[in-house]
Amino acid sequence: MSSKIPVSVLIPAKNEQVNLPACLASLSRADEIFVVDSQSTDNSIEIAKSHGVNVVQFNFNGRWPKKKNWSLDNLPFRNEWVLIVDCDERITPELWEEIDQAIQNNEYTGYYLNRRVFFLGKWIRYGGKYPDWNLRLFQHKKGRYENLNTEDIPNTGDNEVHEHVILQGKVGYLKNDMLHEDFRDLYHWLERHNRYSNWEASVYFNILTGKDDSGTIGANLFGDAVQRKRFLKKVWVHLPFKPLLRFVLFYIIQRGFLDGKAGYIYARLLSQYEYQIGVKLYELRNCGGHLNTATTPKEEAGEQGSRGAEGKLLTIDS
């Protein structure tokens, strides 16, 4: 057996019994593994324990920090370096060898990892899905996820998904890819993106209303890949016909058609996802974030009171 690498792995999880076995099997080189769970009701905890990893329960109170930042603040990591891996991701042996060498280089405090995204059994190489750089390996005392002021949005989950790490020090890029392949069905893809669209609509809303973005990685056309994406998003939110544009951009301009049937389906789903974001943004801007809003101040006050009570109950359950 290959020697352990002095890296602590952080895995955020909730009801991931289908993906966890392959994920954990790919992490056997790690010196330490934490599965931070959110009250799973399937066999996720049993699977994690059978692999001999640390299981920690996270209870989200509806306020910042969310799961990953909470874990970075509170888990007793015994290694300087932390690697953040989602349940539907795997670290290849080649990438582990590269990680082993990378953490010995004192020039860098963190590294971007490139993901290969698989969909319907096919690697999606086009449509802008590759390369897909994510800052996942870093010295845990020097990095935290940005706060985009979206933690109080209902039905978005308790985990940082689109937020990026703000890191002190110099960042490098690893050559070998990590694999991203969800073994669940399309129902879960759609359910997940229904939640993501709540988050995206609120980010769009914050941009359009000029909300302060200090404390984030910021938007910079001449910055790194993530900052450029953030800059382009600020332009994107003002464009008309975004669902159509999303399809044309992915499928035609960025050659998603080269990924065959999987590429076409992915493009159609992304277009639908963009439409969901748009109608939820409309709901935020014109209906106060709720359908069928009250028309009189008295009715509105009563409605807000009932929503507040419901929100408190949901927070307790989560």
Cα–Cα nearest to 85, from 39, 40, 20: 20
Question: Which domains occur in the chain, in start order?
Answer: 5-183 (3.90.550.10), 187-287 (no CATH)
Look up residue 258 and give its DSSP letter. Answer: G
Q: 306 φ, ψ to 5°?
A: -70, -35
Tell whether omega for the bond before 240 is within 30 degrees of 0, i.e. cis.
no
Contacts of 135 (CB under 8 A, 6+ apart): 110, 111, 112, 113, 143, 164, 165, 167, 171, 226
- Residue 283 CB-half CA count within 13 A: 16
* Model pLDDT for residues 118-141, shown as the tens digit of each residue: 999 999 999 999 999 999 999 999
* Model pLDDT for residues 55-95, shown as the tens digit of each residue: 999 999 888 899 999 999 999 999 999 999 999 999 999 99
Q: 117 φ, ψ to 5°?
A: -90, 125
Query: What token pair was written down for 135?
Result: 């800052």
224-260 burial: b if 16+ Cβ within 10 Å, else e: bebbebbbeeeebbeeeebbeebbebbbeebebeebe
Query: What token pair was written down for 197?
Result: 């669209």
Write down the residue that tokens 């010196």 correspond to: 31
Read off the pLDDT band of 1 (50, 70, 90).
Answer: low
Write down the residue that tokens 């938007």 correspond to: 219
Rounded CA separation 95/177 (Å) = 7
Whether the model clears a pTM of 0.85, i.e. scores above it, the answer is yes
Name the more confident of 106 and 298: 106
Output the pLDDT for position 226. Answer: 77
Per-residue three-class SS string for 151-174? CCCCCCCCCCCCCCEEECCCEEEE
Name the more confident of 228 and 111: 111
Name the more confident of 111 and 308: 111
Please report which residue ranges of 42-127 form alpha helices under DSSP H: 44-50, 67-74, 93-102
* Model pLDDT for residues 234-274, shown as the tens digit of each residue: 999 999 999 999 999 999 999 999 999 999 999 999 999 99
* Model pLDDT for residues 146-196, shown as the tens digit of each residue: 988 777 777 778 888 888 999 999 999 999 999 999 999 999 999 999 999
